Structure 1
Amino acid sequence: MKKYLQLAAVALLITVITSCGGTKTEKLSGNDFLVTIKTDMGEMKAILYDETPKHKENFIKLANEGFFDSLLFHRVMTGFMIQGGDPNSKDAEPGVRLGSGSPGYTIPAEFVKSFFHKKGALSAARQPDQVNPEKASSGSQFFIVQGRVFSEQETGMDMQALSQSISTLRRNDPDNPLNKELEDSFNEGGDETFRIKAMELADKLSEATGITIKMPADRVEAYTTLGGYPPLDDQYTVFGQVIQGLEVIDSITTVGVDPNNRPYEDVRMYISVEEMPRTEIVKKYGTVYQ
C-alpha cells in the first residue's frame, strides 16, 4: 500500500509539471537603518527586517566594516536574481568562477511566513540541502530577486508542496486518517482519483504537516502584479526588501554573462547603512513596513 501511495504522489507531481504552463501595519516608532546599494548601473535603497534579527545585525555589521565595498555581483540570471557578497570577488581575475567565498561562518535560517521572494526581496544565499539540511545562510552572500510576473493559475496551488506534504505525512505520521483517505482514493480510481482527492485535502494536509500548499493571498497579489520567484519561498531566508531602484535590478540582468553566469564586465557594489527615524523613511519611500 505504501508503494502505491509513493507512486501516486510521484504521479501527482509529474501530472502537474506537464500540465502547468492581513492587514499591514506600519511600525513607525523609533529609528531604523536605511541601506544604500550603489552599483555601476545605479543605486538601490533597501530596508532590513526586524523579524530576522541575526541576518539584519550581520548585514549592518559587514556594511559598516566596508566588507561589501568593491565586491561583485558575480552571478546574474535574467528572470531570476542578482547575487553578490563573495569576498573572493573583489580582486578576481576575469573568467574566474566565484561563489564559494565567505567570512568563515554561517547564520541560522530565519524563515518568516510573511516575507517571500517578490521582486526586490533581499535574501540570503546558502549551500544546498545535501550539505546544509538546516538551510543555514551564508555569512555574507546574498541575492536580490528579479523574477517575473506570474499568472493567477501559476500561483494557485503549489503541487510540489502538495506532493511533499503527502510524503511527509506518510513518513512522520503514518497512522493519520488522511493517509487512509489517500490510499483508498488511489485503490478506487488510480492516479487521477488520487490527484483529485489530494487537492481536496490540501488544507488538511497543510495543517497536519506545516507545509504551505495554497499560496497566501498576499503572495498571489505580489507575484501576479510586481512579480518575483515563488519557488524560492520558505527555502532561503528573506531578510530585507529593495524599496527604491527596482529598475537597477533589471539593468544589471541585461549584461552579458559567461557560462557560470558571471558578467563579462564587472558590476561592483558599495553598501552603506544610515540610521534614521522610521517616520522619515516612510515619508521618503512610502509604506515599506509590513
Structure 2
Amino acid sequence: MKHIYVLLLLILICSFNCMCSQEKNNYLLIKTSMGDIKVKLYDETPLHRDQYLKLVDEGFFKDRIFHRVIEDFMIQGGEAQTKTGEEEPPLIPAEFCFPQHYHKRGVLAAARMGDNVNPEKKSDGCQFYIVTGKKFVPSQIADIEKQRYEQLKQQIFNRLRKENTEAIKTLYREGDKEGMAALQEKLIQQMETEAESRKAESLYSDEQKEAYTSLGGTPHLDGEYTVFGEVVEGMDVVAKIEAVQTAGQDRPLTPVTFSIVRAD
C-alpha cells in the first residue's frame, strides 16, 4: 500500500511539473533592435501556439524585420524571405475566440490574405502583428456594432444561398422568375430570423467597450483575424517601433530587426 501512495505522489509531482513547464513555454521574447517585447501565447488557440513555438525552436524567427508599421494601427513582421528560396510555413486554420479574445491594444494576432483568395480566413503561417490601435468614443463603438450586424447578415445570406445553389440553378434554367423571387424572399426571411437570434455576436460587452475606449485597439478586425496572444512586457518598445518613419507600403526607412526566442 505504501508503494502505491509513493507512486501516486510521483505521478502528481510529474503532472504538476509538466503543467508548469507547459505554461512556461507559452511565453516568447521578441528581441528587437529597439528593445525587448515579451508575449504570452493563448492556450485557446492551440494551432497558432504550437506552430509559433515550433518555428521559434527551429530558429525561423532569427534576424527578421518589421516590414509594415502603421501608426495608431499595428506593427507587423515575420514574413518569409521567399526571394531567397525559403519555404513558406503552412497556413493555420482560423481560431476565432471572440468575445474572449479581441483586438484591444497590445494583443498578438495573425496576418492573412484577403477574403477573395482566402474565404476561410486562414492565418499566414508566420506573419504576425501587434495591435496599437486608437481609442474610440462610445458612438463609434455603436457604429461598429451596426456594421458587424450587417456583416453577420451578409454571411448568413451567403451561406443560405450556397445551400440552395441547385434550386437556384433549376429555377434559372426554367426561367421561373416568380419562383426565383419567392425563393429570394424566403432566404431573406430566414436570414433575418437567424441574424436576430445571433445578434449578440455583433455586440460588445461592457468590458470590451471599456477596453476600446480607455486602452484603444482595432475593433473592426474582430472575427476577421485570429488573436492568439498578448504583450505582457514591452509595450513601450512597441510604441517606439510604431513611431518610426516609413516609406512606401508602410515599410520603415530604417529597418527594425528582431529575433524570437522562448522566454521564462
Task: Specify the TM-score bucket, using the shorter chain as the normaliser.
Answer: 0.7 to 0.9
2:213 is aligned, of 224, 238, 249, to 224
Counterpart of 2:213 in 1: which secondary structure? helix
Counterpart of 1:174 in 2: which secondary structure? helix
- Structure 1 residues 263, 59: CA separation in 2 closer, same or farther (over 3 Å shift)? same
Unaligned 5+ runs, structure 1: 1-28, 92-100, 181-203, 277-290
- Structure 1 residues 179, 144: CA separation in 2 closer, same or farther (over 3 Å shift)? closer
The aligned residue for residue 136 of structure 1 is: 122
**Pairwise CA RMSD:** 2.5
Q: Please, what TM-score do these two structures have when normalized by structure 1?
A: 0.67
- Structure 1 residues 102, 255: CA separation in 2 closer, same or farther (over 3 Å shift)? farther
Contact residue 47 and residue 241 of structure 1 kept, 8 A: yes
The aligned residue for residue 88 of structure 2 is: 103
Q: Residue 159 of structure 1 aligns to which amino acid in structure 2?
A: K
Where in structure 1 do 4 or more consecutive aligned residues deviate above 3 Å? Answer: 165-171, 175-180
Q: More helix per residue: 1 or 2?
A: 2
Q: Residue 119 of structure 2 aligns to which amino acid in structure 1?
A: P
- CA-to-aligned-CA distance 1:159-205 (integer Å, 9 cap, x gap): 2122223444555372747849xxxxxxxxxxxxxxxxxxxxxxx73
Indicate yes or no: 2:261 matched with 1:272. yes
2:187 is aligned, of 153, 174, 195, to 174
The aligned residue for residue 253 of structure 1 is: 242
Q: Residue 261 of structure 1 aligns to which amino acid in structure 2?
A: D
Q: Distance in 2 between matches of 1:79 and 1:44?
A: 18
Q: Please, what TM-score do these two structures have when normalized by structure 2?
A: 0.74
Q: Distance in 2 between matches of 1:206 and 1:251?
A: 43
The aligned residue for residue 282 of structure 1 is: none
- Percent identity for Structure 1 against Structure 2: 38
Counterpart of 1:45 in 2: which secondary structure? strand
The aligned residue for residue 135 of structure 2 is: 149
- Structure 1 residues 270, 176: CA separation in 2 closer, same or farther (over 3 Å shift)? same
After TM superposition, the structure 1 = structure 2 runs for residues 115-130 of structure 1, keeping only pairs within 5 Å, are 115-130=101-116
- CA-to-aligned-CA distance 1:82-132 (integer Å, 9 cap, x gap): 0001122998xxxxxxxxx86242111111111111111110111100000
Unaligned 5+ runs, structure 2: 1-18, 161-185
Contact residue 206 and residue 212 of structure 1 kept, 8 A: no
After TM superposition, the structure 1 = structure 2 runs for residues 29-68 of structure 1, keeping only pairs within 5 Å, are 30-31=20-21, 32=23, 33-68=26-61
Q: Residue 134 of structure 1 aligns to which amino acid in structure 2?
A: E
Q: Distance in 2 between matches of 1:67 and 1:250?
A: 25
